[in-house]
Structure 1
Amino acid sequence: MATTDAWLRAVDDLLYRAHRVAPDQLPEAIDGALRPLGVAATTYVVDVEQELLRPLPRPGRPAPDPLPIDASLPGRAYSEVRVRAGQDGRLWVPVVDGTERLGLLEVTLAAGTDPDDEVLRDGCRSIAALVGHVLAGKLTYGDTLHRVRRSGPMEVSAELLWQLLPPLTFATDTVAISAILEPCYEVGGDAFDYALDGGLFALAILDGVGHGLPATLFTAVALAALRAGRRAGTELPGLPAVVDAALRSQWTDGRFVTGVLAEFDVGTGRLRYVNAGHPAPVLLRRGRAVRALTGGRRLPLGLPSPDTEPGEVRLEPGDRLLLYTDGIIETRDAAGEMFGLPRLADLAERHIGSRLPAPETLRRLSRAVVAHRAGPPRDDATLVLLEWSGEAAARVEP
């Protein structure tokens, strides 16, 4: 049985190798670091659809089959962000970057090894944590890791948009935020953003008019203007005008972006928001949807609109805020029935009541929307969940 010092040496070895490792050589670097411990590992990354865990290829070796997230032991380890032990001498260890789920590390143990040994589990967690950071860092340096995560080609609009978005999940000791977008390979006009500075958590959800690349370009300008305004010190009431000006400087044909721009004080629970022609966010308290936030209304971004006083609400510890685009509630089944806000709220209550991590709650909500949909998607469908809870934030950490 490897000692704590042996695992620390493996972490140090992998860290040293990672400085100059090429993205497609990461599996060999992990193997080299773990070899002295007498264990082997296979790294799986979650696909863009968040349906399968796909193995990173190793030269000269046949690739294992992808693993389904739903209804499998590895999938449970990924969904719950918890180490799971199989009955075949394997450990399944979540791989995260910070708190964003990236995949799993399959650790094959030597015969006679106790999978419940705490030194072993702690060592595997440390290796998996470093693998997560390395994976995230190497994504921008090659295409191999992107190819592994895809089941098909990605449209130009989606390729552009994914490069603009922040990580899907972020958490501190007191707050967690997670987002999910569909359709993954064709998404165009939807986007989200967040930033935490000095105890103020800025967040936004956007939905540009139209589809495809024109909608993406329009939304991209709105997103960039929003960030530029924030970083220049513009406070929430003035941000819509900054976005309006940027959009109208490039387009004069009446295009617009709907959205919710919000500012949450992590210390006091004060939430201020402006709703620019967008579906009203839903407040969930003690696992129940208690109200829609209907204040702070103005015209969509890009259209002339008078100054608007932000809406305001005081959150309580443990509250959750669910934001969504109209593509969620307007998805129709074969009979033409819309998914609808009542169904969304009911499913959110049920999944939140099961104490799932925020990204898993959204993954299951998104899967429910896809299952309801008949035929190809007609619109982008995006969800964002903010949780003000130390317990909820801890659930996104292995």
Structure 2
Amino acid sequence: MTVGGRGDPDLSESFGEELLGLLLDRAHELPPHMVGPLVATTVARLGGREPQILLQDYGLQQLVPLDADGGVAAGGAQPIDRSDAGRCFLESRPVEVPTADGVRVHLPLLDGGDQVGVLSVTLDGIDDDTRRLLRRIAGLAADLLQTKNGYTDLFFRTRRSEPMSVPAEIQWSLLPPLSMVMPRVAVAGVLEPAYAVAGDSFDYALNGDVLHLAMVDAMGHGLDAATMATVAIGAYRHARRISIELSEIYLFMDRAVAEQFDPDHFVTAQMMRLDTDTGRLQWVNAGHPAPMLIRAHRVVGRLDSPTTLPVGFGGAQPQVSTVALEPGDRVLCFTDGLIEEHESGQEQFGEEQLIDWVNQLELADHGVRAVARELSHTLKRARGETTSDDATLVLFEWRG
């Protein structure tokens, strides 16, 4: 349809535009605690009832609802592994469940491939037009939650299922989103113990066609370790952003840690660069466990390389190693806490057991976010639900 002169587009507001406009027009001045009520008002225009915004907890065990005022709802948490909303979360796709009074729809709240949580709503019935509008509402809601997150503590509080230590508070504030899924590359990371992690951290950035990734493990535990990890990651980000070479990034991080801490303090580290156009992976290793290469859903080997001293010890400029990835290849990076058990009288968990579990989980052919989460939780269960050290992993896939 046209209006005005011949060929002029129809600029009148359709129902769909009006509906999404409820979110868009108010987004910039919307107080964080009003995100939930505004989304509820919007889906109500579609006939939606009992709307819920469910956020993942820090331990990635359950989905916790925001209450009607944007705060933490009393009860109502749903296990990720045993619920329809959890299935939506793990598979990053809508899940529709028939009910006595209609259909309960669960939609992933996706932002840049990172999953914020799930939007759930009940309708009398559903068709393709309603599915399209709900999908777009969920997308806008995810963007709102991510944007407003920097202005409030409400969403942080919602995601906590137990008290968090000060070092863990520092580490979580330092992290990028736990996952990123893009056309050529996908990344997912997990930190354990989620509420008491101290010296482990990771960082990544996608700059044009290049994925930059680093993992660090600061010696010791507690506030000292968290502070060292913060300095190491801060130095890494600064060096990365001024576009110096990988081996020089190590020297930059080494100086930063050495200048701030005693001579016996150190951080093991690994820094990588992946050309997402060609699959060329480069990395340097500073006392870190060697990553594992996963091809065709099996661990085919370690990415062994020359290493230099941990950051802070004044090691020699490291040698840059290179490997050509094939489309679908995955690389697993991890800290030593994932394979070591330091409790008195206990044996190390060991790398062979890690490989066995990776191979078993890879058979399911799930995305990196689901595999990373399940691998971390599986290994924690195999260690008896305890660990004497931080246990962190990052899994990334070159999609070709």
Q: TM-score, normalised by structure 2?
A: 0.91
Distance 1:32 1:72 in 2: 25
Task: Say if 1:6 and 1:37, in contact at 8 Å, map to a contact too.
Answer: no
Residue-by-residue CA offset, 1:216-244 (whole Å, 9 max, x unaligned): 10111011111111112211121111011
Distance 2:276 2:261 in 1: 37
Task: Say if 1:334 and 1:373, in contact at 8 Å, map to a contact too.
Answer: no
Q: Which segments of 5 or more consecutive residues in structure 1 lack a partner in the other structure?
A: 391-398
Structure 1 residues 351 and 332: CA distance shift in structure 2, 3 A: farther
Residue of structure 1 in register with 2:5 after alignment: none
Distance 1:183 1:348 in 2: 20
Q: Report the 3-state secondary structure (helix = DSSP H, G, I; strand = E; otherwise coil) of the residue aligned with 2:156.
A: helix
Distance 1:62 1:285 in 2: 43
Structure 1 residues 7 and 349: CA distance shift in structure 2, 3 A: farther
| Structure-to-structure mapping, 1:115-264, within 5 angstroms | 117-264=127-274
Q: Does 1:31 align with 2:40?
A: yes
Q: Report the 3-state secondary structure (helix = DSSP H, G, I; strand = E; otherwise coil) of the residue aligned with 1:58.
A: coil
Distance 1:152 1:66 in 2: 13
Q: Report the 3-state secondary structure (helix = DSSP H, G, I; strand = E; otherwise coil) of the residue aligned with 2:315.
A: coil
Task: Say if 2:66 and 2:73, in contact at 8 Å, map to a contact too.
Answer: no
In the TM superposition, residue 301 of structure 1 has moved relative to its aligned partner by: 0.8
In the TM superposition, residue 130 of structure 1 has moved relative to its aligned partner by: 0.9
Residue-by-residue CA offset, 1:153-199 (whole Å, 9 max, x unaligned): 21111111111111111122111111110111111100111122232
Task: Say if 1:189 and 1:215, in contact at 8 Å, map to a contact too.
Answer: yes
Residue-by-residue CA offset, 1:307-363 (whole Å, 9 max, x unaligned): 221111111111110000011111479982433222222222222221212111111
Residue of structure 2 in register with 1:21 after alignment: 30
Q: Does 1:280 align with 2:290?
A: yes
Residue of structure 2 in register with 1:365 after alignment: 375
- Give the count of matched residue pairs: 383
Distance 2:164 2:249 in 1: 32
Structure 1 residues 16 and 296: CA distance shift in structure 2, 3 A: farther
Q: Structure 2: which amino acid aligns with 1:51?
A: Q
Superposed CA RMSD in Å reads: 2.0
Distance 2:260 2:33 in 1: 40
Structure 1 residues 36 and 71: CA distance shift in structure 2, 3 A: closer
Q: Does 1:94 align with 2:111?
A: no
Task: Say if 2:106 and 2:119, in contact at 8 Å, map to a contact too.
Answer: yes
Q: TM-score, normalised by structure 1?
A: 0.92
Q: Does 1:48 align with 2:61?
A: no
Task: Say if 1:195 and 1:203, in contact at 8 Å, map to a contact too.
Answer: yes
Distance 2:52 2:210 in 1: 40
Q: Does 1:310 align with 2:320?
A: yes
1:65 aligns with one of 63, 76, 81: 76
Which structure has the higher relative contact order (CA within 8 Å, separation 6+)? 1
Over alpha carbons, which structure has the higher Rg? 2
Q: Structure 2: which amino acid aligns with 1:34?
A: V
Residue of structure 2 in register with 1:395 after alignment: none
Q: Structure 2: which amino acid aligns with 1:224?
A: G
Distance 1:84 1:64 in 2: 22
In the TM superposition, residue 138 of structure 1 has moved relative to its aligned partner by: 1.0
Distance 1:370 1:78 in 2: 21
Task: Say if 2:297 and 2:365, in contact at 8 Å, map to a contact too.
Answer: no
Q: Structure 2: which amino acid aligns with 1:100?
A: D
Q: Does 1:104 align with 2:130?
A: no
Distance 1:12 1:98 in 2: 22
Q: Which segments of 5 or more consecutive residues in structure 2 lack a partner in the other structure?
A: 1-12
In the TM superposition, residue 377 of structure 1 has moved relative to its aligned partner by: 2.8
Distance 2:357 2:344 in 1: 20
Distance 2:347 2:123 in 1: 50
Q: Structure 2: which amino acid aligns with 1:9?
A: E
Structure 1 residues 54 and 157: CA distance shift in structure 2, 3 A: same
In the TM superposition, residue 62 of structure 1 has moved relative to its aligned partner by: 6.9
Q: Structure 2: which amino acid aligns with 1:10?
A: L
In the TM superposition, residue 27 of structure 1 has moved relative to its aligned partner by: 1.4
Distance 2:106 2:206 in 1: 32
Task: Say if 1:332 and 1:372, in contact at 8 Å, map to a contact too.
Answer: no
Work out the percentage of aligned pairs sharing the same amino acid: 38
